[in-house]
Amino acid sequence: MIVQQIIRSCSNMHVAHAAVISIGGDFAEHLAAEELRWDLPTGMLAAIIVRGFSAKADNDQRAGVRKAAHDADQPILSGLRHILLQSALLR
């Protein structure tokens, strides 16, 4: 359920951008640097990664998102952070 909520909401570049800002800190700074590398706005980059995750993630990857979100104060943000950190695009 949480994985679908993340995919549904954060596939939208505006929502994804707001979520990255909400996560903040070093993570948001890292994504801002990637924005320059990929020549895409942060929200668009995050949304593309989420859409790719939606299309290609296997059961273990989805379980990783559920684990990251479990008992988190902000499960959607925690799950999104996990998805983005696991992306090959950000390595």
Residue closest to 21 by CA, chosen among 51, 53, 43? 43
For the whole model, what pTM was predicted?
A: 0.94
- Interatomic CA distance for residues 33 and 75, integer angstroms: 25
| Confidence band of 88 (pLDDT split at 50, 70, 90) | confident
pLDDT for 91: 76
pLDDT tens string 36-78: 999 999 999 999 999 999 999 999 999 999 999 999 999 999 9
Q: CB within 8 A of 1, min separation 6: which ones?
A: none
pLDDT for 90: 84
pLDDT > 70: percent of the chain = 100
C-beta atoms surrounding 42 within 10 Å: 20
